Chains A and B, each alone.
Chain A
Amino acid sequence: MTDLLKRDLQLIAAGVDLFAEAAAGQAARVTRIDWSPPLAGTEADLATVLADPRRADANAEAVRRVQAVRALLVDVLPAGEVLGLGPRTMLHAGPPIDWVRASGPLRGALMGAAAFEGLVADPQDAVGPLERGEITLDPCHHHSAVGPMAGVITRSMWVFVLEDPATGRRAYCSLNEGLGKVLRYGAYSDDVIERLRWMSSVLGPILQAGVRRNGPVDVTAILAQMVQMGDEAHNRNRAGTLMLLRELLPAMIESGFPASDVAEAARFVGGNDHFFLNLAMPACKLALDAARDIPGSTMVVAMARNGTDFGIQVSGTGDAWFTGAAQVPDGLYLGDFGPDDANPDIGDSAITETIGLGGFAMAAAPAIVRFVGGTVADALANTRRMYEITLAEHATFAVPVLDFRGTPLGIDVTKVLRTGILPQINTGMAGKVAGTGQVGAGLVTPPLDIFPKALRALAAAAAA
């Protein structure tokens, strides 16, 4: 039975202001909704999906599962070993794509990776085999993995292995190369390839020894702490990187590797503010994968871009990708690069926003709002706006400036369409010409048209 008559009257008004006004005039507490109609053409599908009897429980379960996951860094291994990648398979960021439609930075990274794997002597020689489909491309997401920017992972690259101890499920991500001219931004010059070789021959084994000697590193716990230290875990990972180094460094030193190698590894990790990104991402992936395939759930479980397409996956619609054209981020450029140099949005790193970090947690990282010439007030407004399209608030990731309110958790397809508010993503920008590298950083959103597609599929599943 309702307790409407037992509690103090509290009103929330959506629609005609006359009624809210009349109630307020009678000393009632009224919260007014800034209501606007949903995206035109989605009314019928919204009604069908909202009427789905499974939805409310399914979404509650999705939110519960995400938060139940604890991501531990348990090992560091070559991708070939843990992902079973053959010599002619390359993983990439975003939804599936072929060479013909691949953008410059993805092509550059694939070419560089071919040279790195020794398939060709010169990256330019890889164009032929890639064009002819002699190298298989597959999304990282289809292999429990994620990769930032181009996200190219090949067998000889080392990956972090994250595991949820309760279920034994795992997620993987490559090691972060640093900023500037790096493979993930599409650069493939000799120094890029050389750095990758050093990472596989020195950095990977030292990190492996460190993790094995130290024992598992609780990445979820570091995420919770870093959000309170000014990181949003996408474009700012400074605190997270230092906490990781603090935890692993003693074991790395004791690993028996030459002191000069350990020092170089420590210098490399400590000197790269983004090193932890490649742990934040698989931690988010591991948590969100727990919420996949719940019939009736309207929660987004992946947002990913391949430089051409922006794709989302939704819990209630299985492995289907809903894709549209990736947008060019709006932000600031390095050196004399400008908007004409930027490639459309790329990378699996939007997995951080999918769980409610990154752009969703801007209020926790005011230092980065000026990427868009914004203010701290903008950061607060960004995070508050994301509460409008999410299902819950994270129990562990708390935003100090919002009185430790939990970060916005679980993007709800129906709320995106009802409010017209798009998920806010903080991202790096790659040069659109293969081989360029990073040209800037900024803010971007998914294309609006992918959400009605997802809704249509949810409606079809609900009606069935």
Chain B
Amino acid sequence: MWIPAASSTALRDVLAGPVAPARWLGASASALYVSVDHSSVSAEGPSVVAVVSHDAVRLPCALVLPATAAERPLSALTPMGSRHSVRVGAGRVEWDGPGGSVTVAAVREWRPACVASGEPRAERVEALRTAIKDIGIAYALVDTLVRAGDSRAQAGAVADLLGRGPGLTPSGDDVVAGFLLGARAFGRSVPGAVRAVEERATTATTALSAELLRYATRGECVPEVATAAAAMTGRRVADDALAALLAVGHTSGSALAAGLVAAADVGSLVAVGAA
């Protein structure tokens, strides 16, 4: 089965390499996650490639299919288990599915969303803050992050969040991702958070979540975050943007929003020892 897909520009290098073995990370009806160890061609560690349905959240590391999860449930295409191989390279993700070989081919590119900079407007920060629902973990952890007085405390607060919560993208990581993206959008310097992610994410949380945090340090994110951040800075109307963010996942949207609000709340820190 040959399935054309639109590939994130962020995957250009990963997909361009020669076909190499990869590892399954997870599968649902709307998304498949694969870990690619391309240390032979790149200095960076393993990277994650997601294959997502048309109606799934657009992760910045995704190959997007034209069909929805209802039209083509992805979990039905995959034999889960480490025994089964999956290969990535030459512009493709391919594996042997229950009904024969499956090839997802990158036939065009799309550019992942990126937060734009601006000063957040107080009333919109409050609007988002009051709309936040369950973030999946104790809100006190977010408060600790906001109150961290120096870079070291901030790194500690982030370390406390990394990997906290169940699932492929734990809620604590969503908060941290929202925080990093908000900091980038609102011009906050958060060296402690960045350092904690760089040093600890690979070991402290799932491979997918660690990858999304790396994207967040570059300002790349799902479109709902970029749109909500733009709404907070008044670059666009807020009407639906904040609600759309909160609708992401079960608790992910609220956790990402909590991170954005936390970033709006903090002042910039000077990196300890960096001076």
Contact = CB atoms under 8 A, between A and B. Distances in A.
Genuine A/B complex: yes
Interface of A: 8, 24-30
B127 interface: no
A25 B4 contact: yes
A8 B68 CA distance: 13
Interface of B: 4-6, 54, 64-66, 107-108
Given A8-B54, A27-B4, A27-B66, 8 more contacts: A24-B66, A25-B4, A25-B107, A26-B107, A27-B65, A28-B66, A29-B54, A30-B66
A29 B55 CA distance: 11
21 contacts: A8-B54, A24-B4, A24-B66, A25-B4, A25-B107, A26-B4, A26-B6, A26-B107, A26-B108, A27-B4, A27-B5, A27-B6, A27-B64, A27-B65, A27-B66, A27-B107, A27-B108, A28-B66, A29-B54, A29-B66, A30-B66
Contacts of A24: 4, 66
A336 to B, nearest CB: 51
Contacts of A26: 4, 6, 107-108
Contacts of B5: 27
A26 B108 CA distance: 6
B112 to A, nearest CB: 14
A211 to B, nearest CB: 48
**Most chain B beta-carbon neighbours within 10 Å: one of A25, A26, A27:** A27
Nearest to B106: A27
Contacts of B54: 8, 29
Contacts of A25: 4, 107
Closest 4 CB pairs of A and B: A27-B4, A27-B6, A29-B66, A27-B5
Contacts of A29: 54, 66
Contacts of A28: 66
A26 B64 CA distance: 11
Contacts of B6: 26-27
Nearest to B68: A29
Nearest to A23: B66
A311 B4 CA distance: 51
A51 B77 CA distance: 48
A29 B5 CA distance: 10
A27 B65 CA distance: 6
B12 to A, nearest CB: 16
Nearest to A8: B54
A23 to B, nearest CB: 9
Contacts of B66: 24, 27-30
A25 B64 CA distance: 13
A333 to B, nearest CB: 44
Contacts of A27: 4-6, 64-66, 107-108
Contacts of B107: 25-27
A27 B5 CA distance: 5
A3 to B, nearest CB: 12
A402 to B, nearest CB: 16
B228 to A, nearest CB: 15
Nearest to A27: B4
A20 to B, nearest CB: 12
A28 B64 CA distance: 10
A363 to B, nearest CB: 20
A160 B108 CA distance: 65
B72 to A, nearest CB: 12
Nearest to B223: A8
Contacts of B4: 24-27
Nearest to B65: A27
A27 B108 CA distance: 8
B181 to A, nearest CB: 20
A85 B142 CA distance: 80
Contacts of B64: 27
A280 B119 CA distance: 61
A460 B6 CA distance: 49
Nearest to A25: B4
A8 B107 CA distance: 17
Nearest to B227: A6
A19 to B, nearest CB: 15
A26 B105 CA distance: 10
A21 to B, nearest CB: 11
Nearest to B7: A27
Nearest to B55: A8
Nearest to B2: A25
Contacts of A30: 66
A26 B5 CA distance: 7
Nearest to B236: A6
A31 to B, nearest CB: 11
Contacts of B65: 27
B70 to A, nearest CB: 12
Nearest to B64: A27
A29 to B, nearest CB: 5
A332 to B, nearest CB: 38
B259 to A, nearest CB: 25
In this complex, which of B5, B54, B65, B66 has the most chain A Cβ atoms within 10 angstroms of its Cβ? B66
Nearest to B67: A29
Most buried by A among B5, B6, B65: B6
A296 B66 CA distance: 39
Contacts of A8: 54
A12 to B, nearest CB: 14
A43 to B, nearest CB: 34
A220 B65 CA distance: 44
B81 to A, nearest CB: 28
A30 B64 CA distance: 14
A25 B4 CA distance: 6
A27 B62 CA distance: 13
